Chains A and B, each alone.
Chain A
Amino acid sequence: MESAYEVAAYALRYWFIAAVLVILIAVIYISYKEYQQKKFVMTEISQFGGYMKIIGGPREFIGDRFGLRENNTIGSDSRCDIVLPDRTVKRNHAVIFQDGDDYYLEPVAKAPTKINGRKAINAHKLKTGDSVSFGDVELRIYFKRTRIEHDN
């Protein structure tokens, strides 16, 4: 019995070492992966000042979201920042740009654009919750209340 225990304890040394190493590597690997992903999402989000969500228009687009950066061109052309592939949207339809703390919408070349149901011709200031339509596509705009502050 005594010697059987010795053999078992002697053999189990390897198991204990393996277990500790597996735990160590798993902790490092999983926590690193999770941190990397979190960092990616948070930097992605900190670039945007708000987002637009499609609420009306062709059914397959409803619910799509677009993040808003400092300058956004909107149109059906694939070179635009925010692409709305609809027949009623012009190739270069409008621009949303940031000036100070506020965002403005300006249609390009009198393209059919509405803000809260009223026709827009010049640059107009946007508020959170405004609904905007380009051609037949209707979107709602949300801005962040808080800006993500990084280490000070």
Chain B
Amino acid sequence: MIIKRFGAGIILAFMILFLLSGMFLLSFAGGTFNMEAVILGIIFAVFIVAQYNILKGIFKHLERFALLIADFLCIISIVILYRINPDVAQKQLIWILIGNVCMIVAMLVIKRSHDFGKINWIFMILAVGMLGMTLIFASRIGGAKNWINIGPFSFQPSEFAKILFLIVTAYFLSSRDRKRDMWPYFVFTIACVGLLVLSRDLGAALLFAGTFLIVFYVGTGSVGITLGATAAFAGGAFLSYKMFDHVKTRVEVWQDPWATYNDKGYQIVQGLLAIASGGLLGTGLGLGMPEVIPVGTSDYIFAAIAEEFGIIVAIGIIALYLVFIIRGILIAMDARTKFDKLLVFGATAMLSLQSFIIIGGVIKLIPLTGITMPFVSSGGSSMLSAMMQLGIIEGVALKNGEYEEAELEEMGGGVA
């Protein structure tokens, strides 16, 4: 009657070997030995080992597999970013460290909280305020107005609005029995998506709308409203296709990027060429040309990985995202309250949708919308929000583990 935890040391060992061999190889790039790469690799390796073991020691019921997968995605991110641009990799390392602090904070907050009650109204105002502020003050990068500059820092408020959106979603869907009592939540969703569309952040708008549809259907099981909302969002998408020029461009470029190769289709074509030149096994780390892809360090990092490491590794990364999603859904199924279930499910759905949207965009499966790849793309805001979503998943996993242990102890068992 004892649940035994299986050792995951072999996974950690291979992750560290991957990181160290990659950084050691990169330190010889360019003909001279570069100590910086090795130092960066060793610092990150020590950090990963310490983080995993300390968290495992403090929190007995830690969801270790989701944490390890996130760590491995960060490792791949550091290696490929160092390959493309060492300065970006150093910044990314700092963001990963800050992200881990955020993860632990989110984990502890979620573990102690019930459902945030009335604070959700403040969250709603805060989220709409942040998105509205973006619309007014933001500077324009790559067609979308989603960056706010404060002194030397620039951040993306929509990334933090995501977390608030998840909490508000879980609160309203779990605490209201009748659907007509959920109207503040519907207004909130429409406001968020509308503001994102107006600030031309189509990737984030798609993400919010998609998460709303998935979590709403899972939370209420109402086919009618879900189909109606899907139709409304499809209509909205069609309308924005007609109204906004840059949406139209995105779709045209998706249909035939070669027609505008020198201009708007350049990014997609370069991404496809990178994936093709990598082939099944890749060109070898440092031997490809990922630096020619525009935005190769953030949105298009998947193409860079596919070029240098090969399609097999790229598919492996997609499979790791899938395992992450399955772990998240298992935790959601184990959760004891409806709020916890929907919160974890929402975080998982959002991460999976986000990785699907960007990977699908890069391989030209769906029209490209600028959005980051969770845990892999460079960029502070996206790393912090992905880490907070991981923290939400971990926090509910800790709650589940404590309930399970209490049940086992009543029967004279335990968790080893």
Interface residues of A (CB under 8 A from B): 1-2, 4-6, 8-10, 12-17, 19-24, 26-28, 30-31, 33-35, 37-38, 41-42, 44-45, 48, 50-51, 53, 65, 67, 142, 144-146, 148-149, 151
Which residues of B lie under 8 Å from residue A19 when comparing CB positions? 14, 17-18, 21
Structural contact, A23 and B412, CB atoms closer than 8 A: no
Which residues of A lie under 8 Å from residue B312 when comparing CB positions? 17, 20-21
Which residues of B lie under 8 Å from residue A142 when comparing CB positions? 410, 412
Given contacts A27-B323, A148-B407, contact A16 B18 (CB under 8 A): yes
CB nearest to A29 among chain B residues: B6
Structural contact, A27 and B65, CB atoms closer than 8 A: yes
Q: Which residues of B from 303 to 336 have beta carbons under 8 Å from A?
A: 309-310, 312-313, 316-317, 319-320, 323, 327, 330, 333, 336
Partner of B316, one of A24, A30, A48: A24
Which residues of A lie under 8 Å from residue B17 when comparing CB positions? 19
Q: Give the total of B residues in contact with A, Cβ under 8 Å.
A: 52
Which residues of A lie under 8 Å from residue B1 when comparing CB positions? 41, 44-45, 65
Given contacts A142-B410, A146-B407, contact A14 B281 (CB under 8 A): yes
CB distance from A86 to the nearest CB of B (A): 22
A142 to B409, CA, bound (A): 11
The stretch from B24-32, B87-95, B215-223, B344-352 touching chain A is B24-32
A14 to B284, CA, bound (A): 9
Given contacts A12-B25, A17-B310, A144-B411, contact A26 B10 (CB under 8 A): yes
Structural contact, A45 and B6, CB atoms closer than 8 A: no
Structural contact, B320 and A27, CB atoms closer than 8 A: yes
CB distance from B9 to the nearest CB of A (A): 10
Total A-B residue contacts, Cβ distance less than 8 Å:
133
A5 to B83, CA, bound (A): 14
A27 to B67, CA, bound (A): 11
Other 20 A-B pairs with CB < 8 A, given A14-B281, A23-B18: A1-B31, A9-B285, A16-B21, A16-B282, A16-B285, A19-B18, A20-B18, A23-B14, A23-B316, A26-B14, A27-B69, A27-B323, A30-B7, A31-B65, A41-B2, A41-B413, A45-B411, A65-B1, A65-B412, A151-B333
Interface residues of B (CB under 8 A from A): 1-8, 10-11, 14-15, 17-18, 21-22, 25, 28-29, 31-32, 65, 68-69, 72, 281-282, 284-287, 309-310, 312-313, 316-317, 319-320, 323, 327, 330, 333, 336, 404, 406-408, 410-413
Which residues of A lie under 8 Å from residue B313 when comparing CB positions? 16-17, 20
Structural contact, B287 and A41, CB atoms closer than 8 A: no
Given contacts A13-B281, A21-B312, contact A5 B286 (CB under 8 A): yes
A145 to B410, CA, bound (A): 8
A67 to B14, CA, bound (A): 42
Given contacts A20-B18, A34-B5, A45-B408, contact A6 B284 (CB under 8 A): yes
A142 to B29, CA, bound (A): 67
CB distance from A96 to the nearest CB of B (A): 16
Interface centre among A12, A17, A24 (most CB of B within 10 A): A24
Structural contact, B323 and A24, CB atoms closer than 8 A: yes
A17 to B310, CA, bound (A): 8
CB distance from A14 to the nearest CB of B (A): 7
CB nearest to A17 among chain B residues: B312
Structural contact, A16 and B22, CB atoms closer than 8 A: yes
4 tightest A-B CB contacts, nearest first: A9-B284, A20-B316, A31-B65, A19-B18
Given contacts A5-B28, A44-B1, contact A27 B11 (CB under 8 A): yes
CB distance from B135 to the nearest CB of A (A): 41
CB nearest to B404 among chain A residues: A42
Which residues of A lie under 8 Å from residue B72 when comparing CB positions? 23
Structural contact, A12 and B284, CB atoms closer than 8 A: yes
Structural contact, B287 and A6, CB atoms closer than 8 A: yes
Which residues of B lie under 8 Å from residue A65 when comparing CB positions? 1, 412
A24 to B274, CA, bound (A): 24
Structural contact, B28 and A8, CB atoms closer than 8 A: yes
CB nearest to B309 among chain A residues: A16
Which residues of B lie under 8 Å from residue A30 when comparing CB positions? 6-8, 11, 65
A35 to B331, CA, bound (A): 11
Which residues of A lie under 8 Å from residue B25 when comparing CB positions? 5, 8-9, 12
CB nearest to A2 among chain B residues: B31
A27 to B1, CA, bound (A): 24
Which residues of B lie under 8 Å from residue A37 when comparing CB positions? 3-4, 6
Some 22 contacts from A to B, beta carbons below 8 A apart, are: A5-B29, A13-B284, A20-B313, A24-B323, A26-B10, A27-B11, A27-B65, A31-B65, A34-B5, A37-B6, A38-B3, A41-B2, A42-B407, A45-B407, A45-B411, A65-B412, A67-B411, A142-B410, A144-B410, A145-B410, A146-B407, A146-B410
Which residues of A lie under 8 Å from residue B406 when comparing CB positions? 146
CB distance from A51 to the nearest CB of B (A): 6
A31 to B331, CA, bound (A): 12
